[in-house]
Amino acid sequence: MTQDWILRGRDWLESCQNNDGGWGETCGTYENPSTKGIGESTASQTAWAIMGICACGDLDRPSIQRGLRYLLRSQKPDGSWDEEQITGTGFPGVFYLKYDMYRQNFPLLALATYVNYRSGLGHRPSFYRCS
């Protein structure tokens, strides 16, 4: 996870982080690629970015800390997150999907991923490796 091409991906993710600490991108990116990585922060997209950056190994990166604070700050008292934006692709330029559980599952997975890494649980090299 320290190869140059992976670190460039991490650096790109960090360059897209919003001022509020989250990440977001609209489906409009498919029609206008110049908007990639730009959009209102969402819980699910923030979670994806956090997990990607955590996979690179440095859990003390400011981007991770800011992303975690965004998730915790935007979490509702009942433990859920709101997410009005559509973040799922059906067929780009034709239709898009709203996976309602993305806003619940992925933030929880990102928080658990961070806590597990911080606690020494899980083996970093194998956690993200596909066979």
- Tens of pLDDT, residues 66-112: 999 999 999 999 999 999 888 877 788 788 888 889 999 999 999 99
Q: Of 51, 37, 25, 57, which is closest to residue 108 (Cα–Cα)? A: 51
Task: Say what the pTM is.
Answer: 0.88
The tally of domains found in the chain comes to 1
Q: Which domain holds residue 27?
A: 4-127
Q: What integer best gives the mean pLDDT of the chain?
A: 89
Phi-psi domain of 113 (left: phi exceeds 0; alpha: psi -120 through 50; beta: other): alpha
Phi-psi domain of 15 (left: phi exceeds 0; alpha: psi -120 through 50; beta: other): alpha
Question: What pLDDT is recorded for position 130?
Answer: 47
Does the pLDDT value for residue 126 go beyond 80?
A: no
Does the pLDDT value for residue 125 go beyond 90?
A: no
| Mean of pLDDT values over 18-26 | 96
| Cα gap 38→25, rounded to integer Å | 5
Does the pLDDT value for residue 64 go beyond 70?
A: yes
| Cα gap 77→82, rounded to integer Å | 11
